[in-house]
Structure 1
């Protein structure tokens, strides 16, 4: 199973995975939307695809884990009933710059490293680009597939078949998005459209100014305008697909005010 391969643990019978699960806390607190949310009888898993590494990513995992706990513990239940929780980030860039394929974090005593808090919360970051450094063959093959889209094991070949099937089936298109292919297509589509519009506008502006180097200046203006327009088109496509403002901001760099004006 996908999660078992990532975590090296045996996962029991899971509930049907929730894609883009939303957790909305009380009052004015910030809500979250989880990419993939899975649970079995003893554990809950949040699996996120991360294409950039913002400086506050560790605090984001902390917040996600806290809201998952709130979501899972009903009023009147004992703390003992809290499930073990995993927040997992599959990163296309190295999140900590140390070249490791996997970074696993759990609470340990600062004064005595042999004492673990055992609060049953784990945060795991996968650096898919370092797949060749992973000793476990199946996990290495999985990270390689996520990085290169190259299936080198029976398991990843099976995943690849499911992805191709999902791309042809509207009902399961969210699985295609899970593997980050859809997001790449979205960014590329917005970039190409934005560059085309920006280039055309820049050329027109250069001609109107009557400069002898209008075409060259127009191209320069177009490239600059195209970069911004690409971000706008990408943001517009993401907004149409109900992505949260914070995620659109992270990917495009546009301000929330700019996004709301689209």
Structure 2
């Protein structure tokens, strides 16, 4: 089994590491949300990148690509360059844990914010040729009757950008699909992407993460194969993934990176990093 990663100069906005880096800019994050949902967004609380939500020890935690909020709404934005399994059920689980995260923060049911889970796909997730698919809970017996629980699941098909009538969303989806910046907003994103690729700290962190990921995947595979069972392989990968986070955080801490940046890149909590 081989593990290949892109050269840093080949990265685009849709690549995971680049997407997280650019979306860390609150104005870009705000602009993306406004174009995806055709709404005006208030002041964005600083976006959490690759936020991990695991409210209970035995529950399956999730890592969200971009988790942001304004005064009235919460937003999860996922970039999908390939189609993950069980996409619909994945959104159901993501949304449920976002609600639990809000409740654990001290909110009552009546205080739950409007919640949006958005999957930006480069290909058509439902094979219907639409650029946008929006889902809400509706009554089967009464057409037009909605269960007003303030939750929405929205999927985007960048490959159908030419069918999107909204000018700004059209330009954004076109940029994702064709890597062609045709609006002021996408040109701004493209400039930030190119600037990031020239940044020595960005390049160093990206390469360090990928080299370490390669080493730990290899170690995990060897450990699993030595045991001789699939369980051993899975355990090896799990341990390797955890070790990746710790080693990455330790390396960045030693290089005096800000704690917030270490949290973003490693996926560890502030408390875990401070213990290193």
Superposition TM-score tier, normalisation by shorter sequence: 0.5 to 0.7
Please identify the structure whose Cα radius of gyration is greater: 1
- Using the TM superposition, give the Cα deviation of residue 77 of structure 1 relative to its aligned residue in structure 2, in angstroms: 3.4
Whole-Å separation in 2 of the counterparts to 1:67 and 1:158: 33
Alignment of 1:4-23 (within 5 A): 4-23=34-53
- Using the TM superposition, give the Cα deviation of residue 238 of structure 1 relative to its aligned residue in structure 2, in angstroms: 8.9
Residue 80 (structure 2) aligned to one of 50, 60, 77: 50
Partner in structure 2 of residue 111 of structure 1: 141
Checking the alignment, whether the CA contact within 8 Å between 1:104 and 1:122 is kept in structure 2 is: yes
User: What is the aligned residue count?
Assistant: 192
Whole-Å separation in 2 of the counterparts to 1:238 and 1:51: 24
Whole-Å separation in 1 of the counterparts to 2:89 and 2:149: 18
Instruction: Give the root-mean-square deviation of aligned CA atoms.
Output: 2.7
| Structure 1 unaligned residues grouped into runs of 5+ | 187-232, 241-254
Partner in structure 2 of residue 220 of structure 1: none
Alignment of 1:1-262 (within 5 A): 1-74=31-104, 77-169=107-199, 236=214, 256=234, 259=237
- Using the TM superposition, give the Cα deviation of residue 113 of structure 1 relative to its aligned residue in structure 2, in angstroms: 1.9
- Using the TM superposition, give the Cα deviation of residue 54 of structure 1 relative to its aligned residue in structure 2, in angstroms: 3.4
Whole-Å separation in 2 of the counterparts to 1:132 and 1:60: 28
Whole-Å separation in 2 of the counterparts to 1:145 and 1:22: 28
- Using the TM superposition, give the Cα deviation of residue 3 of structure 1 relative to its aligned residue in structure 2, in angstroms: 0.7
Checking the alignment, whether the CA contact within 8 Å between 1:235 and 1:259 is kept in structure 2 is: no
Checking the alignment, whether the CA contact within 8 Å between 1:106 and 1:122 is kept in structure 2 is: yes
- Using the TM superposition, give the Cα deviation of residue 146 of structure 1 relative to its aligned residue in structure 2, in angstroms: 0.8
- Using the TM superposition, give the Cα deviation of residue 167 of structure 1 relative to its aligned residue in structure 2, in angstroms: 2.2
CA spacing shift, 1:238–1:154, aligned 2, 3 Å: farther
CA spacing shift, 1:238–1:57, aligned 2, 3 Å: farther
- TM-score w.r.t. length of structure 1: 0.66
Whole-Å separation in 2 of the counterparts to 1:235 and 1:172: 16
CA-to-partner distance for each residue in 1:60-100, whole Å, 9 max, x for gaps? 00000000001112376321100101000000111001111
Report the 3-state secondary structure (helix = DSSP H, G, I; strand = E; otherwise coil) of the residue aligned with 2:110.
Answer: helix
Partner in structure 1 of residue 222 of structure 2: none
CA spacing shift, 1:39–1:239, aligned 2, 3 Å: farther
CA spacing shift, 1:70–1:164, aligned 2, 3 Å: same
Report the 3-state secondary structure (helix = DSSP H, G, I; strand = E; otherwise coil) of the residue aligned with 2:196.
Answer: helix
- TM-score w.r.t. length of structure 2: 0.63
| Structure 2 unaligned residues grouped into runs of 5+ | 1-30, 219-232, 241-276
CA spacing shift, 1:257–1:52, aligned 2, 3 Å: farther
- Using the TM superposition, give the Cα deviation of residue 261 of structure 1 relative to its aligned residue in structure 2, in angstroms: 8.8
Report the 3-state secondary structure (helix = DSSP H, G, I; strand = E; otherwise coil) of the residue aligned with 2:45.
Answer: coil
CA-to-partner distance for each residue in 1:145-186, whole Å, 9 max, x for gaps? 01111001111111111111222336667xxx9xxxx9xxx7
Whole-Å separation in 1 of the counterparts to 2:127 and 2:236: 32
Whole-Å separation in 2 of the counterparts to 1:168 and 1:237: 26
Whole-Å separation in 2 of the counterparts to 1:94 and 1:148: 15
